[in-house]
Amino acid sequence: MSQTFVLKRGLNIPLAGEAELRVSKTIVPGVVAVRPTDFKGFLPRLLVKEGDPVLCGSPVMADKKNADILLASPVSGTVKAIVRGEKRKLLAVLIEADDRQQCVDFGVRDASALDDGQVRQALLQSGLWPFLVQRPYGIVADPDIRPRDIFISTFNTAPLAPDSHLCFDGELKAAQAGLDALSKLTDGCIHLGLDARDTDAPFAGVHGARLHRFSGKHPAGNVGVQISHIDPIRKGDSVWTVSPAGLVAIGKLFTTGRYDVRRKVAVTGPMAIEPAYIDTLPGMPMTEIAGFCGNTPSEKLRVISGDALSGSSVGADGYLGFFDSQITLLCEGTDKELLGWIRPFRFNQFSTDRSYFSWLLPKKKYAMDTNLHGGPRAFLMNDGYYAKVLPMDIYPVYLAKACLAGEIEKMEKYGIYEVLPEDLATCEFVDPSKNDIQHMIEQGIELMLKEMA
């Protein structure tokens, strides 16, 4: 029997540009990027050089701290380029795909019949281990520990989030195999978060997991919010999380013997022409979706890998992130507005505080841009103002300030173990002080990793 949580705090952002429920095209990228920067805590060591041939599933990088953790190529082809940044930091390995698309055969196996060591070895050898994210801090999971529990949120409440039915209907067999495999890696439970409004959720028919249904506004679909209500993370705890796309990819490893990370990606946002879904691979160049952008100049367009609140701005020449199933196209808000916030009758501006008459149009969608309408200033001292959009039992302002000041004891006190930056994205959106709260949380996590190493 499933448990239902009704979350009363949160915020749904009425952003225009929702993707139609159809796959408009299948993209087979000519070049894909394997980027170590997608994986927090991963220190890359190259295993290939320019000109080397690779298969789909061949390792291209290993972690310097743990050589068993690999990043694999999602296509077969040839290593085209090694991209480095400042101080020769490794940014990406570009792989030019061939026409044959040959895969490494890892063998079809029954995950339920394997022991924990065999499952762990299979995930490490295939390059799928980085789908396992360890909390606190959101780093690549440590293969040498057994987590307290494993959590999977099967739905997303972010602005213009992909539809779970379109993305995962028909994947129940792979999801079940993935759950059978993951169950070997923990002595605790696998917790599956489902949308309470969706009575026929794609993963509702699985067994071997504890089901929890969540009802509420964003960020109800964030796995961090779900963990805080099911069984909060305390100091000394380690839990793992897996995305639904990761669960399906892990299941396909055992049911097909292949490294298969193809997924349906929603191309969304006010600047998208006929927003819809594409079938593609992580690491796809954003140039492949130029048709969705029309003739918009690059300086007027922000291309985001992920959602508008917590995604990464990668630019028109960037690449789709490893964990992302959404692309958001926004207008760069560089125009200054006459009279600013005192301008009356702003029916085309969304406000959470009823500052404009837009609150009279609750179903209206807004073509929001990236304009902050002001610069950073002192924090609003009413913590409850931010807490009303965050359904977690923490103090967001005090936590952000502790991270900014680098005070570890206060960070622990106010909830650094429970959050990742994405969990406070709604706080950043409503913040009248225009502070980059997610960046502050990121700074705090980086400090914790450095000090606790």
Q: Which of 256, 284, 299 is the last residue of a domain?
A: 256
Strands (E), 250-342: 263-268, 277-280, 301-305, 312-313, 326-331
Same domain, 251 and 269: no
Q: How many CB atoms lie within 10 A of CB 337?
A: 12
Q: Check pLDDT > 90 for residue 102.
A: yes
**In the predicted model, is pLDDT for residue 424 greater than 90?**
yes
Does residue 1 fall inside a structural domain? no
Looking at the predicted structure, is the pLDDT value of residue 337 above 60?
Answer: yes
Q: What is the pLDDT of residue 152?
A: 98
Average pLDDT across the chain, whole number:
93
Whether the pLDDT of residue 343 is over 70: the answer is: no
Residues with Cβ within 8 Å of 133's Cβ and at least 6 positions away in sequence, in order, are: 40, 139, 140, 141, 240, 241, 242
396 occurs within a structural domain? yes
Residues 230 and 350 occupy one common structural domain? no
Higher-scoring residue by pLDDT: 194, 338: 194
pLDDT at 375: 78
Tokens of 379: 């924090």
Number of compact structural domains in the chain: 4
Mean predicted confidence (pLDDT) in 313-320: 95
Residue 453 pLDDT level (bands cut at 50, 70, 90): low
Co-location of 251 and 111 in the same domain? yes
Does residue 239 share a domain with residue 111?
yes
- Domain stop point among 216, 236, 256: 256
Cis peptide leading into 219, omega within 30 of 0?
yes
Residue 296 domain flag: yes
Predicted confidence at residue 344, as pLDDT, reads 60
Q: What is the mean pLDDT of residues 130-143?
A: 97
Q: Phi first, then psi: what are they for 57, rounded to 5°? A: 105, -5
Q: What is the CATH number of the domain that holds 43?
A: 2.40.50.100
At residue 402, the pLDDT reads 96
pLDDT digits (tens, 9 = 90+) for 291-312: 999 888 888 899 999 999 999 9
The answer, yes or no, to whether residue 428 has pLDDT greater than 80, is yes
pLDDT for 238 equals: 96
Q: What's 114's domain CATH number?
A: 3.40.50
CA separation for the pair 248, 256 (Å, rounded)? 11
Q: Tell me what pLDDT residue 405 has.
A: 94
Q: Is residue 367 part of a domain?
A: no
Q: Is residue 47 part of a domain?
A: yes
φ, ψ for residue 214 (rounded to 5)? -120, 135
CA gap 243, 60 in Å, rounded: 23
pLDDT of 1 > 70? The answer is no
Residue 374 has pLDDT above 60, yes or no: yes
The verdict on 319 and 213 lying in the same domain is no
Q: Cβ contacts of residue 24 below 8 Å, gap of 6+? A: 267, 274, 276, 277, 278
Please tell me the predicted confidence (pLDDT) of residue 423.
Answer: 97
> In this structure, are 125 and 212 located in the same domain?
yes
What average pLDDT does the segment 361-370 reach?
Answer: 89
Residue with tokens 């057994």: 146
Q: Are residues 126 and 141 in the same domain?
A: yes
Residue 271 pLDDT exceeds 70: yes
In a domain, 374, yes or no: no
The range of the structural domain enclosing residue 229 comes to 107-256
Average pLDDT over residues 248-256: 98
Same domain for 53 and 72, yes or no, is yes
CATH classification at residue 271: 3.10.20
- Looking at residue 341, its pLDDT comes to 61
At residue 112, φ and ψ (nearest 5 deg) are -70, -20
Beta bridge partners of 153: 193
The answer to whether residue 7 sits within a structural domain is no
Tokens 């999602």 belong to residue = 74
| Whether residue 284 sits in one domain with residue 172 | no
Q: What is the pLDDT of residue 162?
A: 97
Mean pLDDT of the region 330-356: 75
Q: What is the 3-state secondary structure (H, E, C) of the chain?
A: CCEEEECCCCCCCCECCCCCCCEEEECCCCEEEECHHHCCCCCEEECCCCCCEECECCEEEEECCCCCCEEECCCCEEEEEEEECHHHCEEEEEEEECCCCCECCCCCCCHHHCCHHHHHHHHHHHCCHHHCEEECCCEECCCCCCCCCEEEECCCCCCCCCCHHHHHCCCHHHHHHHHHHHHHHCCCCEEEEEECCCCCCCCCCCCCCEEEEEECCCCCCCHHHHHHHHCCCCCCCCEEECCHHHHHHHHHHHHHCCCCCCEEEEEECCCCCCCCEEEECCCCEHHHHHHHHCCCCHHHEEEEECCCCCCEECCCCCECCCCCCEEEEEECCCCCCCCHHHCCCCCCCCCCCCCCHHHHCCCCCECCECCCCCCCCCCCCCHHHHHCCCCCCCCHHHHHHHHHHCCHHHHHHHCCCCCCHHHHHHHHHHCCCCCCHHHHHHHHHHHHHHHHC
Q: Give me the pLDDT at residue 222, please.
A: 97
**Are 225 and 123 part of one and the same domain?**
yes
Last residue within a domain, chosen from 224, 256, 288: 256
126 and 205 together in one domain: yes
Q: Is 338 left (phi over 0), alpha (psi -120 to 50) or beta?
A: beta
Tens of pLDDT, residues 66-92: 999 999 999 999 999 999 999 999 999
- Of 57-61, 359-363, 377-381, the range with the highest mean pLDDT is 57-61
Q: Is residue 279 part of a domain?
A: yes
**Reduced to 3 states, what is the DSSP secondary structure of residue 313?**
strand
* Whether 121 and 91 share a structural domain: no
